[in-house]
Amino acid sequence: MKTRNVKTTELAGAALDWAVAMAVYPSSYVSGDRLRVRKIINGEEETIASVFLGKRKGAMREFSPSTDWSQGGPLIDRHGVTLSYFAYGNWISNVCEEKSLLHGETALIAACRAIAAAKLGDTVDVPEVLL
């Protein structure tokens, strides 16, 4: 699978959700046309969500913490993300152990960028199909 190196500050949409899955659930992997988000539950690895890669008509992404508060909200608590509203409709976020501030158009986007940066670094090799 071809990848492209992307700055964490520029991640958005499916690429951002993919990066969060890789940061938070390191057992996740790409299989065929989907990302399988894996989590250890009761000592066993289980797929908790599937994300179709690329544009697939009629298919919905099931793991989208950058747009779904029921998924992104708990990650904010779990990873100690701080959020502040900044001028002109932007949010600033930071994960407690990191010093860099990340911006986003929404609180969830800013928080997801902060989580990805804290765990994966300033750049990420993202599958091209997500860009």
pLDDT tens, position by position, 17-72: 989 999 998 888 777 777 778 887 788 888 777 776 665 544 445 788 999 999 99
By the 8 A CB rule, do 82 and 96 touch?
A: yes
| Structural domain boundaries enclosing 120 | 3-24+64-130
| Helix (H) or strand (E) run with residue 47 in it | strand 44-52
Phi, psi of 42, deg, nearest 5: 55, 40
- Is the whole model's pTM more than 0.75, yes or no? yes
Domain count, the chain: 1
**Arithmetic mean of pLDDT, 68-90:** 89
Q: Which two tokens stand for residue 96?
A: 């407690």
How confident is the model at residue 65, as a pLDDT? Answer: 93
> Does the residue 43 lie in any domain?
no
Q: What percent of the chain has pLDDT over 70?
A: 90
Residues 6+ apart with CB under 8 A from 121: 8
The DSSP letter of residue 128 is G
How far, in Å, CA of 37 to CA of 26, rounded? 9
Residue 99 belongs to a domain: yes
